[in-house]
Amino acid sequence: RTAVVLFTRDLRLHDNPALAAACANAERVVPLFVFDPVLAGRSPNRDRFLHQCVADLRALLRDRDSDLVVRQGDPVAETIRLAGEVGAEGVAAAADVSAYARRRERRLLAEGERHELSVRFFPGLTIVDPGVLKPGGGDHYRVFSPYHRAWLAAKWREPVALPKKVPLPSGVAVGRLPAEPAGESPDAARGGETEARQRLRGWIGEVEHYDDGHNDLAGDRTSRLSPYLRFGALSPLEVAHAALGKPAHDPFVRQLCWRDFYYQVAYAFPEIGRKAYRRGATEGWQDDDAGFRRWAEGRTGVPIVDAGMHQLRREGWMHNRARLVTASYLTKDLGIDWRRGQNEFYRWLIDGDLPNNSGNWQWVAGTGNDTRPYRKFNPERQRERYDPDGSYVERYA
Ligand code: FAD
């Protein structure tokens, strides 16, 4: 039996349920990644990061005497075509939440049926699958705290073992990797599971200091694992398990729960990037192009806001505290539509993804899941508290 494993945003070998199931159930396994032109070009930084993840995945598979078939085009058509070429009976892939990904899944199921291929989707994108936890009478949790309680009490799946072998059939044309895209941020982190695991190992000893340090802007004491989680170069379940073994892990594991929370929101409310989530949210935004440009380019004259926006452009990443302050400044001080801010972040962030980006923007703008929609961050007070000696502002001047 032969199976194709379609990698999408689960670009790892460790704790990858789709890959593990294929390796357990088939004699021959053909790993595939398809560069989808529909998704390319939205963010040069993420295009580069993705490319680095794919290149690393190919190298890791080659270390196991396997390889990664790389194609370009429509992932569904390319998967069906490859399955025909290698005589596969089955296709395994990870389930995803966005409307686009879910359409792709439905199309793959339908095409699989037409070609007598068994197509299966596997968990692994989040710790608890979206849609599993439901409050009485609802299809998803709208407020974080009860979700967090249910999430901690839920039965998590067991991480799957790293497959010993990924037995590739002979004679498969693997295809060339396209050239690495340029990206826009000179100091962006490098993609790939190898880099991700090194970073996790280096950081996990710091978990116990997370509660004290995570808001310290200049101290930069958060994990910076978000882009690796975004592309599945790390399994969120594995990150949680690594943290659970350490003292004082709660505040960090809680952040991983926020990620799961927004994924289950986006799963139930796919318009999260376009429409206000909260029923009855008032939206009246200023048409202020010049103000928006000053914000985006870090020229507002408010030091902590400008520093945050400079960090975003330089690194393709921004500290969470700065994300809160810059987003609050755009929506609450300048009164500019959160969708414009969301799109600007989405262009630059290497961890930029729909559920977390839109969910957090709506939270700050007061249109989302926050139970205090009129909350506003005073940039001066935030600077005094979280950058008291001005090192962050100076670093990103
Ligand atoms: P750590 O503090 O080390 O946290 C560990 C992990 O928990 C993160 O990697 C992330 O996966 C998750 N996490 C932490 N905070 C949050 C949160 N508030 N919401 C959801 N998940 C969280 N995060 C993204 O991954 N992608 C985005 O596009 C994104 N856009 C944001 C936009 C705004 C306006 C705001 C306020 C926050 C946004 N966040 C986003 C959430 C958060 O800022 C980042 O996840 C975090 O800064 C990443 O750094 P880290 O890996 O060092 O986080």
pLDDT of amino acid 374:
85
Same domain, 264 and 281: no
Q: Give the pLDDT band of residue 143 (cuts 50, 70, 90).
A: very high
Does the beta carbon of 357 sit less than 6 angstroms from any atom of ligand 1? yes
Instruction: Say yes or no: ipTM exceeds 0.90.
Output: yes
| CA 21 – ligand 1 centroid, Å | 30
- Same-domain status, 364 and 331: yes
pLDDT in the model for residue 13: 98
pLDDT at res. 358:
98
Which CATH number do you get for residue 304?
1.10.579.10
Nearest residue to 177 (alpha-carbon basis) of 45, 21, 62, 43: 62
Inside any domain, residue 187? no
pLDDT reported for residue 372: 82
With a 6 Å cutoff on the Cβ, whether 105 touches ligand 1 is no
* Closest among 365, 368, 291, 282 to 328, alpha carbons compared: 365
The answer to whether residues 215 and 304 belong to one domain is no
Domain membership flag for residue 177: no
pLDDT at 220 over 90: yes
Q: Does 330 contact ligand 1 (Cβ within 6 A)?
A: no
pLDDT digits (tens, 9 = 90+) for 73-108: 999 999 999 999 999 999 999 999 999 999 999 999
Residues 289 and 380 in one domain: yes
Query: How far away, in angstroms, is 131 Cα from ligand 1 center?
Result: 21
Q: Are the C-beta atoms of residues 267 and 140 closer than 8 Å to each other? A: yes
135 and 255 share one domain: yes
Q: What is the mean pLDDT of residues 363-370?
A: 90
- Residues of the chain above pLDDT 90, percent: 96
Atom of ligand 1 nearest to the CA of 262: 20
320 shares a domain with 254 = no
**Average pLDDT score, the chain:** 97
For ligand 1, is residue 230 a contact (CB within 6 Å)? yes
Residue 104 · residue 78 · CB < 8 Å: no
**pLDDT over 90 at 373, yes or no:** no
- To test ligand 1's pocket by mutation, which of 312, 318, 320 has the most ligand atoms within 8 angstroms of CB? 320
**pLDDT above 90 (res 370):** no
Name the residue of 329, 360, 361, 367 to mutate for ligand 1: max ligand atoms within 8 A of Cβ.
Answer: 360
The fraction of the chain above a pLDDT of 70, given in percent, is 100
Q: Is 300 exposed, middle or buried (0-12, 13-18, 19+ CB in 10 A)?
A: buried
Which residues constitute the domain of residue 237?
A: 126-157+193-268
Query: With contact defined as beta carbons under 8 Å apart, do 67 and 172 qualify?
Result: yes
Cα(20) to ligand 1 centroid in Å equals: 28
Q: pLDDT grade, residue 272 (50/70/90)?
A: very high
Alpha carbons within 13 angstroms on the beta-carbon side of residue 352 total 26
Contacts of 68 (CB under 8 A, 6+ apart): 7, 31, 32, 33, 54, 57, 58, 61, 174
Q: Please report the beta strands in the chain, taking only residues with DSSP state E, as ranges in sequence order.
A: 2-7, 28-35, 69-72, 90-94, 118-122
Q: Is the CB of 253 under 6 A from ligand 1?
A: no
Asked if residue 189 lies in contact with residue 46, where contact means CB atoms within 8 angstroms, the answer is no
Compute, in angstroms, the gap from residue 300 CA to the centroid of ligand 1: 24
Q: Is residue 183 part of a domain?
A: no
DSSP 295-360: HHTT-SS-HHHHHHHHHHHHHS---HHHHHHHHHIIIIIS---HHHHHHHHHHH-TT--HHHHHHH
The verdict on 145 and 72 lying in the same domain is no
Same domain, 130 and 264: yes
- Number of domains the chain contains: 3
Residue 320 CB coordination number (10 Å)? 15
Judgement on whether residues 320 and 377 belong to the same structural domain of the protein: yes
